[in-house]
Amino acid sequence: MSELHLSDEGLDEEIARAEVYGLLAQLYQAPPAPDLLANLRVAVTEAPTAGGFLEEPWRQVVGAARAQTDAQIADEYDALFGGVGKPEVLLFGSHYLSGFLNDKPLAQLRTDLAQLGLTRDEALAETEDHIAYLCEVMRYLIAGDDVAVANLTQQQRFFATHLQPWADRLCDDLAAHPAARFYRAVAQFTRAFISVEAQGFDLTA
């Protein structure tokens, strides 16, 4: 992961948006790799513009990474999202949108992904409505080379349909869970970033 700078202007903003989505995808997909946590612990915590909305939530993520070992964070991930049976916190959109896994929201997502020319990697165990997968799709829609797909219109449509309606509720559940320390900070940062994204899309509507 390259050094992450949370910029608010120009092309740097698009790079930062794609990097944040990519980072969130990694954090939610699996226990963070040692090199990812090492980069987090030395990350810049000051936004280029003083008082930036994401500055404090980002500082909390970096601080939480510094406060725990790799093993402690991996154990926390497993306690929250792994285990036998139903996980403590579910990371799937269908759960929040319909109350059931593998339900109609997942079918609609698959239709929309097909229209974008995107398919699921069969090596992945999770369904496409996993928060990590959705963040990775958003990263592609921002940074991809195919401008017919990777453009602001597609970003806004995908975000409004498949991420915005439930991400805050996931963040609420995660931040409130007693086992969450590092991931409480991740949840607060996710919530702040989703809010910034929603505001940005509203301005372009």
Q: How far is CA 151 from the centre of its chain?
A: 19
Of the candidates 106, 128, 131, 138, the one whose C-alpha atom is nearest the C-alpha of residue 183 is 131
* Tens-place pLDDT, residues 64-74: 999 999 999 99
Q: Is 49 helix (H, G, I), strand (E, B) or coil?
A: coil
Confidence band (pLDDT; 50, 70, 90) for 14? confident
Strand partners, 130: 92
Strand partners, 92: 130
The packing angle between helices 182-204 and 164-176, to 10°, is 160
For the chain, give the mean pLDDT.
90
For residue 5, what is the DSSP state? Answer: -
Question: Cβ atoms within 10 A of the Cβ of 166, count?
Answer: 20
Query: With pLDDT > 70 as the criterion, what percentage of the chain qualifies?
Result: 92
CA dist 135 to 52, 117, 130, Å?
22, 16, 9
Does the model's pTM come out above 0.85? yes
Which of 20-29, 41-50, 61-70 is predicted with the least confidence, judged by mean pLDDT? 41-50
Is it the case that residue 54 has pLDDT exceeding 60? yes
Confidence band (pLDDT; 50, 70, 90) for 9? very low
Give the span between the Cα atoms of 181 and 187, in whole angstroms. Answer: 10
Q: Tell me the residue length of the chain.
A: 205
Give the span between the Cα atoms of 156 and 165, in whole angstroms. Answer: 13
